[in-house]
Amino acid sequence: MSGGRRWPVISALGVIEILAWGSSFYLPAVLAGPVAESTGWPLAWVVGGLSLGLLVAAFAAPHVGAAIHRHGGRPVLALAALLLAAGLITLAAAPVLPVYLAGWLLLGLGMGCGLYDPAFATLGRLYGAAARPAITTLTLWGGFASTVCWPLSALLVAQVGWRGACLAYAGLHLGVTLPLVLLLIPNPPAAAAEHRAARTGPLSASERRAFRLFAGVLVLGGAIMALVSVHLLTLLQARGVALASAVSYAALIGPAQVGARIVEMSFEGRHHPLWTLTAALGLVALGLVLLALGLPGVGIWLVLYGGGNGIYSIARGTVPLALFGPVRYPLVVGRLARPGLVAQALAPPAGAFVLTQASPEALLWLLLALSLANLGLVGALWHLHRAER
Tell me the per-residue pLDDT of 223-282, one tens digit each, with 9 for 90 and over.
Answer: 999 888 888 888 888 878 887 787 777 778 888 888 888 888 888 778 899 999 999 999
Q: What is the mean pLDDT of the chain?
A: 89
List pLDDT tens digits, range 323-374: 998 888 999 999 999 999 999 999 988 988 898 898 888 999 999 999 999 9
SS3 296: coil
List pLDDT tens digits, range 127-170: 988 898 999 899 888 888 888 888 899 999 999 999 999 999 99
What does the CA dihedral 176, 178, 179, 185 come to, rounded to 10 degrees? Answer: 120
Instruction: Tell the burial category of 128 from Cβ atoms under 10 Å away from its Cβ (0-12, 13-18, 19+).
Output: middle
Burial readout 67-90 (b: 16 or more C-beta within 10 A, e: otherwise): bbbeebbbbbbbbbbbbbbbbbbb
% of the chain with per-residue pLDDT over 70: 96
pLDDT of res. 63: 95
Alpha helices in the chain (DSSP H): 3-22, 27-39, 43-71, 73-93, 97-114, 116-127, 132-142, 145-172, 178-184, 193-199, 205-238, 243-250, 253-266, 273-292, 298-324, 329-357, 360-387
CA atoms within 13 A on the CB side of 69: 22
CA–CA separation, 242 and 348 (whole Å): 22
Phi, psi of 69 (to 5 degrees): -60, -40
What does the CA dihedral 380, 385, 386, 389 come to, rounded to 10 degrees? Answer: 160
**Pair 260, 138: CB distance under 8 Å:** no
pLDDT of res. 241: 81
pLDDT of res. 200: 58
Grade residue 389 by pLDDT with cuts at 50, 70 and 90: low
SS3 6: helix
CA–CA separation, 321 and 333 (whole Å): 9
CA–CA separation, 257 and 313 (whole Å): 9
